[in-house]
Chains A and B, each alone.
Chain A
């Protein structure tokens, strides 16, 4: 027997008229008693009718999207259930225009791009996505070959990329029902550079200062030969919290002191890098991933606090948030408007450490006096 049409492609919601014609094998075979199944389920008899002695017709309306990639199995059966013929239906939607293309280059050696397939998602048909790229002013179209590197809609171009010249990048989507093309993204590799996270992040205490931790890291080695000014960001959180605090004014330096922390508390710290201004580019690069979390704890406060647990600092002590913020603003103003380049938080913290030490010494002397 033969089913017609063979392997049709249809839009969701459309109708299908099909026929199953027995070819006299076995001899004397007729359309009487034949029936249809779709994906293994018998179709209602009222959907079929005998057209003539050897042909059974089928009418389906308002088709749903195909259940599997390889096509829905429409099968014509003899009275005894044996399979006479089959045809695979492909029911779906044409591809939508891919959008939201974003690309980044790891250490200026490659380019990885990611995109969204279309606003409404599922087409129910296998849809092929092809990332294309070319030099803007000359050259032929090239096709990316390494797909699914960072998710289902991504591609990686590993080599042979030019710097200081714009590329045009776009995505073409094709399936049995049509094709669609994204808008063109134009970029220079130098403007989308990212790097590995800073390695060797160390977090340590600052002497006996109970509200501070020192963070040190190394500049990403892959960029050591390239002219750039790195920007860094630090984020930290208390061990049993999910809320990160971000310090984002850490410019081109590889250490930072976190202050205003809770004494006797474990903190997790991460650092990331942005290769800003690489080869003189005016644009910020792309932030790296965060480094692996590094943990450290602040010293426990020696002053007894309420309940004897981790202590909050006493009132009046200048380690609370608002005071510190104002002090920071003052120091920033001083640097701009007065020639006090030596003033810094470091000096302030040194003063605080000295104050705490003298405070302890005075207390000890006082207690000795009382005995």
Chain B
């Protein structure tokens, strides 16, 4: 692959390319944010299962994996993609998460009205996903690797509603799980770009 001055097709292709200091700082910041949100996402998941009652949260609990409209878990092939392509997928997932988290929060407001912390944390998660997604897109733009063409609209809010309380609990678990997976995935993908980080 030839090296082109002034733009980076794949920063990993030539590690001797020096990132501009502000870009480097932005990548570090975004990586730190992703690291922090990974911790929050794990806490949110734990808090969510506590409020649904057993068997949610019990060891070995394995509910049916309900499909979440417009979002799936990172594919096994994700880690084999170029880092910019991974980050594009991360940004797309982070953009799809906020409306799904909002649906979960609204349903939990009916099911667990006396759990204000859970409701607040679900609201925070939607905001945090939005912020991290925007930060990843900024990094991509700075790398000259922004998404080409218009981004597909995130799924409509009602795409994530289900009839029945138990399926709603399971769906909320899936959404919180996806939030954790994608934030963690984003942290891992950004670590490839952090100077001095893993190659």
Q: Which residues of A contact B (CB under 8 A)?
A: 3, 6-7, 37, 39-41, 67-73, 75, 81-88, 126, 128
Across chains A and B, the number of contacting residue pairs, with CB separation under 8 Å, is 70
Interface residues of B in 168-186 (CB under 8 A from A): 169-170
- In the bound complex, what is the Cα–Cα distance between A83 and B64 (angstroms)? 6
- In the bound complex, what is the Cα–Cα distance between A200 and B52 (angstroms)? 51
Q: Does B67 contact A (CB under 8 A)?
A: no
Q: Is the CB of B54 within 8 A of A82?
A: no
Q: Is the CB of A70 within 8 A of B54?
A: no
For the complex of A and B, list the 3 residue pairs with the smallest distance between their C-beta atoms, beginning with the closest: A86-B166, A40-B54, A40-B55
Q: Is the CB of A69 within 8 A of B165?
A: no
B59 CB to closest chain A CB, in angstroms?
Answer: 10
B60 contact set on A, CB distance < 8 A: 81
Q: Does B164 contact A (CB under 8 A)?
A: yes
Q: Does B58 contact A (CB under 8 A)?
A: yes
Q: Is the CB of B170 within 8 A of A86?
A: yes
- In the bound complex, what is the Cα–Cα distance between A82 and B55 (angstroms)? 12
- In the bound complex, what is the Cα–Cα distance between A81 and B60 (angstroms)? 10
A82 CB to closest chain B CB, in angstroms?
Answer: 7
What are 14 A-B residue pairs whose CB atoms fall within 8 Å in the complex?
A: A39-B55, A67-B53, A68-B52, A69-B115, A70-B51, A70-B52, A71-B111, A73-B169, A75-B55, A81-B60, A84-B64, A87-B166, A88-B169, A126-B113
- In the bound complex, what is the Cα–Cα distance between A68 and B113 (angstroms)? 12
- In the bound complex, what is the Cα–Cα distance between A33 and B198 (angstroms)? 50
Q: Is the CB of A75 within 8 A of B166?
A: yes
- In the bound complex, what is the Cα–Cα distance between A68 and B118 (angstroms)? 15
Q: Does B39 contact A (CB under 8 A)?
A: no
B106 CB to closest chain A CB, in angstroms?
Answer: 14
- In the bound complex, what is the Cα–Cα distance between A68 and B114 (angstroms)? 11
Q: Does B40 contact A (CB under 8 A)?
A: no
- In the bound complex, what is the Cα–Cα distance between A41 and B51 (angstroms)? 17
Q: Is the CB of A7 within 8 A of B113?
A: no
Interface secondary structure of B, over-half rule: loop
- In the bound complex, what is the Cα–Cα distance between A8 and B25 (angstroms)? 55
> How big is the B interface, by class?
20 to 34
Task: Give per-residue flags for B143-184: 1 if the beta carbon is below 8 A from chain A beta carbons, else 0.
Answer: 000000000000000000001111101100000000000000
A73 and B111 in contact, given A86-B166, A87-B166 (Cβ under 8 angstroms): no
Q: Is the CB of A88 within 8 A of B54?
A: no
For B166, the closest partner residue in chain A by CB is A86
Q: Which of A7, A72, A126 contacts B114 (CB 8 A)?
A: A126
- In the bound complex, what is the Cα–Cα distance between A31 and B58 (angstroms)? 25
Q: Does B82 contact A (CB under 8 A)?
A: no
For A71, the closest partner residue in chain B by CB is B165
- In the bound complex, what is the Cα–Cα distance between A39 and B52 (angstroms)? 10
B52 contact set on A, CB distance < 8 A: 68, 70, 73
For A77, the closest partner residue in chain B by CB is B55
B115 contact set on A, CB distance < 8 A: 69
A70 and B169 in contact, given A6-B164, A87-B164 (Cβ under 8 angstroms): yes
A70 and B55 in contact, given A7-B164, A75-B166, A86-B167 (Cβ under 8 angstroms): no
A85 and B113 in contact, given A37-B55, A68-B51, A75-B55 (Cβ under 8 angstroms): no
A40 contact set on B, CB distance < 8 A: 54-55, 58, 61
Q: Which of B58, B112, B167 contacts A69 (CB 8 A)?
A: B112
Interface residues of B in 122-155 (CB under 8 A from A): none
Q: Is the CB of B56 within 8 A of A73?
A: yes
Q: Is the CB of A68 within 8 A of B166?
A: no
A3 contact set on B, CB distance < 8 A: 166
Beyond the given A39-B54, A81-B62, could you list 13 further A-B residue pairs with CB under 8 A, ordered by the A residue number? A6-B164, A7-B164, A7-B165, A37-B55, A39-B55, A40-B55, A69-B115, A72-B53, A73-B52, A82-B64, A83-B64, A86-B166, A86-B170
Q: Does B63 contact A (CB under 8 A)?
A: yes
Q: Which of A68, A83, A85 contacts B53 (CB 8 A)?
A: A68
Q: Is the CB of B165 within 8 A of A88?
A: yes
For A6, the closest partner residue in chain B by CB is B164
Q: Is the CB of A88 within 8 A of B113?
A: no
B169 contact set on A, CB distance < 8 A: 70, 73, 86, 88
For B170, the closest partner residue in chain A by CB is A86
Q: Is the CB of B54 within 8 A of A73?
A: yes
